[in-house]
Structure 1
Amino acid sequence: MSLTKFNGNGTLPSLLDEFVGKDMEGLHSWSWPAMSRSRVGSVVPSVNIREDNDNFYLEVAAPGMKKKDFNVVLDNGRLTIYSEKREENEEKDEQKRFMKREFSYHAFSRSFWLPDTCEQERIEARYTDGILHLTVPKKEEAKPKAPRQIKIT
């Protein structure tokens, strides 16, 4: 019999979660104060994470934003994607009384721990078609190597 580790919300952790690291958003306790601080007025975009032999790829779904709305910061192996957007719409009548005034504030932050096998100095980011793409190259020693025959003497 083996023990299976749960991640706190009743679901099994995925291998990619274990390899890349937990998304920092999931580290909050789910008591009501933490939930109100992290959830009110914020929309957390979905993130796809995939890998091939040479790179990890993160894709953040953020339609309607511009590349200037994003900040991507790497600090001691933690990659943080942050965005903040403010909008104000105002309609007035001729006497300068408010007929309608709407404003909104959207912000999110997602953080990921990178494995030691990444080349952190060579991370690239681009924003196209509503998706922020990040490419995180792997170090040469982390890339799969072709099998070699070992001579028996």
Structure 2
Amino acid sequence: MSDLYSGTDLFSEFDRLQRHMASLFNTFPSSLRASRFGTFPAVNIGATDDAIEIVAFAPGVDAAGLDVSIDKGVLSISGERKPSRQDLSDDTRVYAQERFTGAFRRVVELPQTADPDKVQARYENGCLMITVGRRESSKPRAISVQ
């Protein structure tokens, strides 16, 4: 055989390397829209013929402290969730704490059909609902045949 053969199965080594590389990159989002589990705030994104609808689930956040902006086709939602008023006493040992507190920022890449001049946002029952209108040129329209 060749001098390069080291006595191990070359295909097993490639398989091991591929698994190792996949485990390294599984923790990173593949795009601005993809995210890891536990990213705050969680979002649902949908579309109609007239608008892109984004719902960010942000319970416990003061609406006045939310900042929503669009720059270069990227929607940014930022703010801070303060600790709850029901703080535990000093002698309480915490076994698990799943509620996120602190500053956050979430970005969503918008489609090119989004019109940054047509944005509405409202906060209700812990949900930030953002509607981004579509450009008139991108909306479906009927064309009459002559």
TM-score between both structures, scaled by the size of structure 2 = 0.61
CA contact (8 A) 2:60 2:81 kept: no
C-alpha distance in structure 1 between counterparts of 2:42 and 2:92, whole Å: 32
In the other structure, the counterpart of 2:116 is 120
**Post-superposition, which runs of at least 4 consecutive aligned residues in structure 1 deviate over 6 A?**
none
Which residue identity is paired with 1:71? D
TM-align CA RMSD: 3.2
Distance 1:56-1:119 versus aligned 2 partners, 3 A rule: same
TM-score between both structures, scaled by the size of structure 1 = 0.59
Structure 2 counterpart of 1:65, from 61, 68, 71: 61
Residue identity (%): 29
Q: How many pairs are equivalent? A: 113
For structure 1, the 5+ residue unaligned runs are 1-7, 14-20, 27-38, 92-97
C-alpha distance in structure 2 between counterparts of 1:69 and 1:24, whole Å: 25
Moved more, 138-147 or 62-71: 62-71
Distance 1:66-1:55 versus aligned 2 partners, 3 A rule: same
Distance 1:86-1:65 versus aligned 2 partners, 3 A rule: closer
Which residue identity is paired with 2:134? K
- Find out whether 1:107 has 2:103 as its counterpart: yes
For structure 2, the 5+ residue unaligned runs are 1-24, 95-99
- Find out whether 1:76 has 2:72 as its counterpart: yes
In the other structure, the counterpart of 1:5 is none
CA contact (8 A) 1:84 1:105 kept: yes
3-state secondary structure, aligned to 1:148 = coil
CA contact (8 A) 1:24 1:110 kept: no
